[in-house]
C-alpha cells in the first residue's frame, strides 16, 4: 500500500531501472500503476507523492532483459 511519502524516483520501487543504485541523472520509465498509462520517463532526481521506497526484491521486476542476439551461421 502506498505510503505517499515524497522521495526521489531513483529510490522508488516504480522507477524502472535495472541498476542496483540508480543515479540522479538516470532516465527510466515510471511504472506506478496510476501513472503507467502516461508512459512517463523520469530522471532519478525527480519525485512525486506516489513514491514508495524500493526494496532489493523490486530490482528484478524491472524491464525485461534484452533478447539474445540471433546466431549467425
Ligand atoms: S514519478 Fe513518482 S511513482 Fe514514478 S518513479 Fe518517480 S517517485 Fe516513483
Phi–psi pair at 38, nearest 5 degrees: -85, -5
The whole-number pLDDT of residue 4 equals 64
Reading the chain (73 residues) residue by residue, the pLDDT tens digits are 455 678 999 999 999 998 989 999 999 999 999 998 999 999 999 999 999 999 877 765 555 444 555 666 5
Query: Per the domain annotation, does 12 fall within a domain?
Result: yes
Q: Where are the beta strands (DSSP E) in the chain?
A: 5-8, 27-29, 41-43, 47-51
The whole-number pLDDT of residue 59 equals 65
Query: Per the domain annotation, does 10 fall within a domain?
Result: yes
Torsion of CA 68, 15, 55, 66, to 10 degrees: 0
Query: Per the domain annotation, does 23 fall within a domain?
Result: yes
28 lines ligand 1 (CB under 6 A): no
What is the model's pTM? 0.75
Mutate to test the pocket of ligand 1, among 3, 12, 44 (most ligand atoms within 8 A of CB): 12
Number of domains forming the structure of the chain: 1
9 lines ligand 1 (CB under 6 A): yes
Query: Per the domain annotation, does 73 fall within a domain?
Result: no
Query: Per the domain annotation, does 67 fall within a domain?
Result: no
Query: Per the domain annotation, does 37 fall within a domain?
Result: yes
Nearest CA to ligand 1 atom 2: 48
The whole-number pLDDT of residue 6 equals 83
Amino acid at each position: 500500500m502506498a505510503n505517499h511519502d515524497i522521495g526521489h524516483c531513483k529510490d522508488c520501487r516504480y522507477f524502472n531501472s535495472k541498476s542496483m543504485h540508480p543515479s540522479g541523472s538516470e532516465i527510466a520509465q515510471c511504472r506506478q500503476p496510476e501513472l503507467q498509462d502516461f508512459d512517463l520517463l523520469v530522471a532519478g532526481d525527480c519525485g512525486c507523492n506516489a513514491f514508495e521506497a524500493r526494496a532489493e526484491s523490486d530490482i528484478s521486476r524491472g524491464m525485461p532483459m534484452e533478447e539474445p542476439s540471433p546466431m549467425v551461421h
